[in-house]
């Protein structure tokens, strides 16, 4: 990835930080985008301490002007954009239908609309470089038919999956590959806090099968690198259920 420029949203902690650090180690210059200025600065510090190149841009992916600005910042700072990782997301309590529309609407804006904005403006920049690679971080919450405590989160993540698959044509049309990763529970600070707040009985219900095995953020970063390197993959979805190996969903998979 020497000479490539990467942009990672939600890179101030957790999965996003692990991805940003790994891409920098692979040789890419990395723009760290996050709503958390302190966390973003720490990710940049870690990359630079490891000999990499990085810069931070304060970004709320739910705001169109912010997403435009982060792509422009990336081009101005490092000369272009080759790799975009749409990782920013979340679902603060309370959840739909108890939450007010403004509250659950923000979750949809961050998790789905933010991804769409990133792709749209990212494509404009990548076309100047003759192509590029986009990896969307979704979730197993968006896969399947089970009940889920945060319906707006599950719906938005399901939308990211379908959005990814519909964009497979961009590989042939523009030389831009869009793929998606759907992990189960990942050992991030946010997940640790959530698990700590649960009762032992609640934690038992999360494992299919027990015990619950948390995916490491660095493993997700490795999957991102795989998608970036494999130029045959486009419009593909990786599912990574709790306690199981990851697998690519066949393009002709049944409903």
169 in a domain, yes or no? yes
Q: In the numeric block, which tokens belong to residue 132? A: 């590029």
185 in a domain, yes or no? yes
Beta strands 54-58 and 176-183, pairing class = unpaired
Please list the ranges in the chain whose pLDDT falls under 70. Answer: 205-210, 255
Q: What is the pLDDT of residue 76?
A: 98
Tokens 């081009």, residue located? 75
Q: Which domain holds residue 230?
A: 5-245
82 in a domain, yes or no? yes
Return the bridge partners of 58, or none: 34
Q: What is the pLDDT of residue 147?
A: 92
193 in a domain, yes or no? yes
Q: In the numeric block, which tokens belong to residue 76? A: 């101005």
205 in a domain, yes or no? yes
Q: What is the pLDDT of residue 196?
A: 81
Known active-site residue 148? no
What domain count does the chain have? 1
CATH number of the domain within which 145 lies: 3.40.50.720
253 in a domain, yes or no? no
DSSP state of 92: P
Q: Which of 95, 145, 148, 153 is catalytic?
A: 153
Q: What is the pLDDT of residue 255?
A: 66
Separation CA 159–CA 6 (nearest Å): 24
Q: Which of 4, 64, 70 is nearest to 34 (CA)?
A: 70
Q: What is the pLDDT of residue 208?
A: 58
251 in a domain, yes or no? no
Per-residue pLDDT tens digits for 67-120: 999 999 999 999 999 999 999 999 999 999 999 999 999 999 999 999 999 999
254 in a domain, yes or no? no
Q: What is the pLDDT of residue 191?
A: 79
The phi, psi pair for 241, rounded to 5°, reads -65, 160
């Amino acid at each position: 990835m020497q000479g490539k420029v990467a942009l990672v949203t939600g890179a101030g902690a957790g999965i996003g930080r692990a991805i940003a650090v790994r891409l920098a180690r692979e040789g890419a210059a990395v723009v760290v985008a996050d709503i958390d200025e302190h966390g973003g600065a720490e990710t940049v510090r870690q990359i630079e301490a490891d000999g990499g190149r990085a810069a931070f841009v304060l970004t709320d992916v739910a705001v169109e002007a912010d997403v435009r600005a982060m792509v422009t910042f990336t081009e101005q700072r490092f000369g272009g954009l080759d790799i975009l990782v749409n990782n920013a997301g979340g679902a603060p309590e309370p959840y739909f239908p108890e939450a007010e529309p403004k509250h659950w609407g923000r979750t949809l804006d961050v998790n789905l609309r933010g991804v769409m904005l990133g792709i749209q403006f990212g494509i404009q920049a990548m076309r100047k470089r003759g192509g590029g690679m986009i990896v969307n971080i979704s979730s197993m919450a968006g896969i399947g038919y089970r009940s889920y405590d945060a319906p707006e989160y599950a719906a938005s993540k399901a939308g990211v999956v379908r959005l990814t698959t519909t964009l497979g044509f961009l590989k042939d049309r523009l030389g831009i590959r869009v793929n998606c990763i759907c992990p189960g529970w990942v050992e991030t600070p946010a997940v640790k806090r959530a698990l700590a707040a649960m009762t032992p009985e609640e934690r038992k219900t999360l494992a299919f099968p027990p015990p619950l095995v948390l995916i490491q953020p660095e493993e997700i970063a490795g999957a991102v690198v795989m998608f970036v390197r494999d130029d045959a993959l486009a419009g593909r979805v990786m599912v990574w259920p709790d306690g199981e190996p990851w697998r690519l969903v066949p393009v002709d998979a049944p409903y």
